[in-house]
Structure 1
Amino acid sequence: MIGTFWLVLGGCGTAVFAAVQVATADTGDVPVGVGYLGVSLAFGLTVLTGVYALGHLSGGHFNPAVTIGAAIAGRLPWSKAPVYIVSQVLGGLVAGALILVVASGKAGFEATGHMAANGYGSNSPDGYGLLSALIIEVVLTAIFIWVILGATDRRAPAGFAPLAIGLTLTLIHLISIPITNTSVNPARSTAVAFFNGDGAVGQLWLFWVAPILGALIAGALYGPLFGERVKIASAPGDRV
């Protein structure tokens, strides 16, 4: 819950407060916001720091798709998944509410359409349609889960998983912010959709279905594609 709160506050908070700003100069308004790059880094940094801080306690999921992918891959008992998912959604909603409260302190702020919600069609930052949104969210979520499973595999170098995960999420945002505002995380999408309005709630289904589908694909294929191959060598018990 704390990790997802941090993810939404850091990522969506950056998008709401700092993505687009202007400073008045002698020559007119000059953009000084962090833009897509800054928002991408914000999401990556929150996951990186959150996993280092909390990964040893809970696995550092912060995302229902990660929980489902881990369960499919045999990394997490299915009995624990509902508690993880409910906690993630609640943590995200608390962060979304906090962003709204803080943003409302600025004169002229209008929450409708300005809460970093995900969307397609008219709600896509660059006008991408439903099919494009579905494809990119499924593919990027699957890749994200593969990276997480690979970085936390017992064969991987110890201690570097948060770096790989955070940098991957940064790259994912660089790719897909123009398409859907980047979800790959149903809890992140839910966290701001209800505060954003402007059709975001009606499109929220896609940002549950697509990431979960991507997680199912990644979790089911990780073992067959990347799992250890064990055979009996010269002596019983030798692993190759």
Structure 2
Amino acid sequence: MPWNNERGDDPEFDGKKIEGTDVSSSHETTVQIIQKIIAEVIGTFFVIFTGCGSVVVNKMYGSVTFPGICVVWGLIVMVMVYSVGHISGAHFNPAVTVTFAIFRHFPYKQVPLYMVAQLLGSLLASGTLSLLFNVPDEAYFGTIPVGPDIRSFVTEIIISFLLMFVISGVATDNRAIGELAGIAVGMTIMLNVFVAGPVSGASMNPARSLGPAIVMRKFDGIWVYIVAPPIGTILGAFCYNLIRFTDKPLREITKTASFLKSKS
């Protein structure tokens, strides 16, 4: 299931330790981490290249339209979740990675590696778009607040909250249908872009905003996209965990006469 990385990469996770396998286990763990990092770089690259690419093409040629851009963002996230979710967890977003670590769904020691991989993927995608299309300033594909920064700040918190709330529901709760996680998350992003795109650019992702900003050297309101998404994702995960009640499958809960009895 994407994102659900509580097990981690510890060869002693199951409580068993085979004598004489420390070196090989350490080697396997290193290889697995490298594979995860590569998956995050590739996944983030294609999310940014495709999503931001639709923005560039629409601004330069007018052939995509705003609804088309919304659909592209949702589809590319869905596709990449199903492509590499079983390898790296398909975070593609530093705010999601940090939030998973805070709520013990991801090891802290891998957080810096994931964040570097996500930013690198965004930078590579943004640089590729800039070179391919020779993007002028008016076709900037990053995110800039429309109107007051505070309005975009609040908007980013709200849509990041919704994104993480959905992710927590479909990817960390064993009662959910895990196979639908990619569809649910992709559709959430599409809806968020529909609503917040004209206001804040609907980033929800510091890497998504930082990559284009660094490549194009446009840093207007960049603080909004660095600060707001982590606040929103942490609040979203907190609220889902608040209403989750239990990790037991629904069928186990309903076997008892009362939910309260099952908790006693």
TM exceeding 0.5: yes
Q: Give the aligned partner of residue 116 of structure 1.
A: 141
**Cα displacement (A) at 1:89:** 0.4
In 1, distance between residues paired with 2:56 and 2:235? 32
In 1, distance between residues paired with 2:158 and 2:73? 18
Verify the 8 A CA contact 1:72 1:219 in the aligned structure 2. no
Encode CA deviations 1:55-85: one digit per residue, 9 max, x unaligned: 0001100011111221222211222111111
Q: Give the aligned partner of residue 217 of structure 1.
A: 235
Matched, 1:12 2:30: no
Encode CA deviations 1:66-110: one digit per residue, 9 max, x unaligned: 112212222112221111111000000000000001011xxxx52
In 2, distance between residues paired with 1:229 and 1:196? 45
**TM-score scaled by structure 2?**
0.75
**Cα displacement (A) at 1:239:** 5.1
CA RMSD in angstroms comes to: 2.0
Verify the 8 A CA contact 2:149 2:221 in the aligned structure 1. no
Verify the 8 A CA contact 1:151 1:164 in the aligned structure 2. yes
Q: Amino acid of the residue matched to residue 193 of structure 2?
A: H
Aligned length: 213
Distance 1:17 1:196, change over 3 A: same
- Structure 2: which 5+ runs fail to align? 1-40
Verify the 8 A CA contact 1:52 1:162 in the aligned structure 2. yes
Q: Amino acid of the residue matched to residue 170 of structure 1?
A: M
Q: Give the aligned partner of residue 44 of structure 1.
A: 74
In 2, distance between residues paired with 1:239 and 1:64? 37
Taking the TM superposition and a 5 Å limit, the aligned residue runs for 1:85-100 are 85-100=115-130
Q: Give the aligned partner of residue 201 of structure 2.
A: 181
- Structure 1: which 5+ runs fail to align? 23-32
Taking the TM superposition and a 5 Å limit, the aligned residue runs for 1:197-212 are 197=217, 200-212=218-230
Q: Give the aligned partner of residue 163 of structure 2.
A: 144
Identity across the alignment (%): 30
Verify the 8 A CA contact 1:146 1:222 in the aligned structure 2. yes
**Cα displacement (A) at 1:229:** 6.7
Verify the 8 A CA contact 1:176 1:182 in the aligned structure 2. yes
Verify the 8 A CA contact 1:113 1:196 in the aligned structure 2. no
In 2, distance between residues paired with 1:89 and 1:175? 25
Distance 1:158 1:196, change over 3 A: same
Matched, 1:157 2:177: yes
**TM-score scaled by structure 1?**
0.82
Q: Give the aligned partner of residue 73 of structure 1.
A: 103
**Cα displacement (A) at 1:216:** 1.8
Q: Amino acid of the residue matched to residue 16 of structure 1?
A: V
Q: Give the aligned partner of residue 30 of structure 1.
A: none
In 2, distance between residues paired with 1:72 and 1:219? 9
Encode CA deviations 1:190-225: one digit per residue, 9 max, x unaligned: 11012333xx31421210100011122123332112
SS of 1:201's partner is coil
Q: Amino acid of the residue matched to residue 17 of structure 1?
A: V
List 4+ stretches of structure 1 deviating above 3 A.
none
Verify the 8 A CA contact 2:57 2:64 in the aligned structure 1. no
